[in-house]
Structure 1
Amino acid sequence: MTMISTERPPVAAILALGLTQIIGYGSLYYSFSILAPGIARDLKWSSKWIFGALSAGLLIGGLAAPAMGKWIDRFGAGRVMTAGSAIAAAALVACAFASGKIAFVAALIALETASNLVQYGAAFALLVQIRPKVAQRSITYLTLIAGFASTIFWPITTALNAHMSWQNVYLVFAALNVAVCLPIHAWLSSSVTRSRKRASAEPAKHVEPSLSPSIRSPAFMLMVTGFALESFVNAALLVHMVPVLSGLGLGAMALMVGTLFGPSQVLSRFINMVFGGGLPQLVLALISAVLLPAALVILIVTAPSVPGALVFAVVFGLGSGLSSIVQGTLPLALFGSEGYGQRQGQVLAIRLVVSSTAPFILAFLMTNVGVFWSLTVAATVGAIAVFAFVAISRLAHLPDPSHLALNRAET
């Protein structure tokens, strides 16, 4: 027991993986909004269709996620991430050399599918496979580092695009994935192999499930539902943050308010790292779920107040940042480390399928029922996520039926 309690997170692996997450999210996701106008112009498409292609890529990538989760458990997350870096680089090159709309959409689908091999889902699984007992802390540290991806890559992408075409920007990003991410993931792959050999000799190193077998299936369904609904609210508001704030009458202040979101995400991860170590992961999941609809209610009630909008951005960012942590730590705490990759793949699939529809649904609602009612619908969806995590808590405190049957038999 002493060895387990004194085990420390793999600092070198977390720092190295943090760098690859910044590059992975920055080059494969955050850069798209900056490059989209140039892509739309060259392909003679409207920006609506370009973002529609991105949603299609996210949707198809989500459908492939369960298979990727199985690969992570079977071959090791490090090997999967190494291959993912190579595939992502190839997809970026294919985007750069796409000769038309069909070729670009095919390359973009490949890119978003490959991103599942190198981003959070795979990275969390890698940390679990390297050192399961401290994986929850490791995931928290990783999300703190990776939280700077948008802060770093939005200005980098903007600066590069000011001096070169979007095609050449994609080629630079492809080189980064090959020259930086691929070698790091290959090195981490060897760490996973060593950890798996130790784990086979030391079964105690695994993290055991905290839920009894009889309630794991309903608890898993509730957890997936909560995460999917949170992702819906997140995706809808992130894409439409500035239009929503402008529609509420904030005008030029909308952009300034929106810039508070990113720092608030990082702040929530830092607060959790410093003060949240003793809290159960289910409590953290509940807090993150409550913060999202609470932020929307603040915005609805106070609009068009600038101070109210500022509070909204901070609270929403805190909830979103905490949510990204518990999406990695809660499955580990509830269901253990065995089969973690497959479970993450299943969760990711449903999350991506649901969240890929969110921007279109919110845009439709804003056009047809207005901003206030659209935010009310989003807040209601977020509230349902809260009830999902409350239901898990209620299930977790129910007595195990098998124990009750055993007690009756003994009586």
Structure 2
Amino acid sequence: MDWREVYGVFALMNLALCLPVHLWVASLSRRRGAPPSSRSPDPVTDARPAAPIAIFPVMLAGFALEGFVLSAILVHMVPLMGAVGAGSLGMLVPTLFGPSQVASRLLNLIFGGRLSQTLLALISAGLLTFGALALLAGAPSAPGLVAFAILFGLGSGLASIVGGTLPLELFGRAGYGARLGWITAARQVSAALAPFLFAVMMARLSIKGAIAGTIATAVASLLCFGSIAFWQLRQKAAAAAAPA
């Protein structure tokens, strides 16, 4: 099949398989109503005071900016490799991205329980930033391209996890579904705009200028999560200084 026929198959699968499943699940939730509120207390999420509401838009902005960076680079991965002069390496580099995603999730499974989700969000944004920096500074050399693919894949795999765990750590279980919906919506909107805007940047600025723009966006995401980490440190310091 050519690429148009492949996309036609994907569209048909969404309509014939995915849509009926979503409609069925939605009908179940409507018939059963809200789930019972009685549950066993969680010593982690229930004992922790919820973060102030002002933290939520900062977290939302961090995830939206991350979504922009990921979508801009991944959608344009193949033409981007050609534009930076990767040559034959342009076929190898994207294949490293998926295994790196899986590796980050395995590492998080093994070691992530010892770290706060805010720190993991910082690490994720930092990996995306340094991955894009490796692409800007290292291309078209093989070490630079490989470092880009691995760092970017690690950051992407971690980002998909902390998108669900960070709001739980900050705000607890109450209203978790609604907050997760907002995060998903912010990511999807920014991801939808990113390929078009990145293409415009490549055409108007240059390849390096477009990559530099994604680096600036990744740094902005890093600053959002960093401000949340700073707030948490201040909270811990205030709690330690308070009289017993």
Q: Per the shorter chain, which TM-score range?
A: 0.7 to 0.9
Residue of structure 1 equivalent to 2:210: 374
Normalised by the length of structure 2, the TM-score is: 0.84
Distance in 1 of aligned mates of 2:23 and 2:234: 47
Deviation at 1:171, TM superposition (A): 3.9
The letter for the 2-side match of 1:208 is D
The letter for the 1-side match of 2:115 is L
What's the secondary structure of 1:277's corresponding residue? helix
Distance in 2 of aligned mates of 1:233 and 1:261: 15
Deviation at 1:178, TM superposition (A): 7.2
Given that 1:223 and 1:389 are in contact with CA atoms closer than 8 Å, whether structure 2 keeps it comes out as yes
Q: 1:305 to 1:184 in 2, by over 3 A?
A: farther
Residue of structure 1 equivalent to 2:48: 210
Deviation at 1:203, TM superposition (A): 5.6
Residue of structure 2 equivalent to 1:123: none
Q: 1:352 to 1:183 in 2, by over 3 A?
A: closer
Runs of at least 5 residues in structure 2 that lack an aligned partner in the other structure? none
What's the secondary structure of 2:53's corresponding residue? helix
Deviation at 1:182, TM superposition (A): 6.3
Structure 1: 4+ residue segments shifted above 6 A:
none
Within a 5 Å distance, the mapping from 1:1-400 to structure 2 comes to 37-38=3-4, 161=6, 167=8, 170-172=11-13, 174-177=15-18, 181=21, 196-197=35-36, 199-200=37-38, 202=39, 204-205=41-42, 207-208=45-46, 210-212=48-50, 216-399=52-235
Distance in 1 of aligned mates of 2:139 and 2:19: 47
What's the secondary structure of 1:338's corresponding residue? coil
The answer to which of 326-335 and 299-308 deviates more is 299-308
Deviation at 1:167, TM superposition (A): 4.7
What's the secondary structure of 2:86's corresponding residue? coil
What's the secondary structure of 2:85's corresponding residue? coil
Given that 1:302 and 1:309 are in contact with CA atoms closer than 8 Å, whether structure 2 keeps it comes out as yes
CA RMSD after TM alignment = 3.3
Q: 1:211 to 1:245 in 2, by over 3 A?
A: farther
What's the secondary structure of 2:114's corresponding residue? coil
The letter for the 1-side match of 2:18 is N
Given that 1:366 and 1:374 are in contact with CA atoms closer than 8 Å, whether structure 2 keeps it comes out as yes
Deviation at 1:255, TM superposition (A): 2.1
Deviations 1:385-404 (A, max 9, x none): 1111111111123349x99x
Deviation at 1:382, TM superposition (A): 0.3
Deviations 1:221-258 (A, max 9, x none): 11111111111100100101121121111123212111
The letter for the 2-side match of 1:38 is R
Distance in 1 of aligned mates of 2:121 and 2:227: 12
Deviations 1:348-379 (A, max 9, x none): 22222222111111111111111111111111
Relative contact order, CA 8 A, sep 6+: which one is greater?
2
The letter for the 1-side match of 2:48 is S
Identity, % of aligned pairs? 38
Deviation at 1:211, TM superposition (A): 4.5
Q: How many residues of Structure 1 are paired with residues of Structure 2 in the alignment?
A: 239
Distance in 1 of aligned mates of 2:10 and 2:155: 32
Q: 1:242 to 1:387 in 2, by over 3 A?
A: same
Distance in 1 of aligned mates of 2:156 and 2:108: 13
What's the secondary structure of 1:259's corresponding residue? helix
The letter for the 2-side match of 1:177 is C
Distance in 2 of aligned mates of 1:322 and 1:329: 11
Q: 1:321 to 1:167 in 2, by over 3 A?
A: closer
Deviation at 1:196, TM superposition (A): 4.0
Which of the two has greater helix per residue? 1
What's the secondary structure of 1:361's corresponding residue? helix
Distance in 2 of aligned mates of 1:285 and 1:183: 33
Distance in 1 of aligned mates of 2:140 and 2:221: 27
Q: 1:231 to 1:209 in 2, by over 3 A?
A: farther
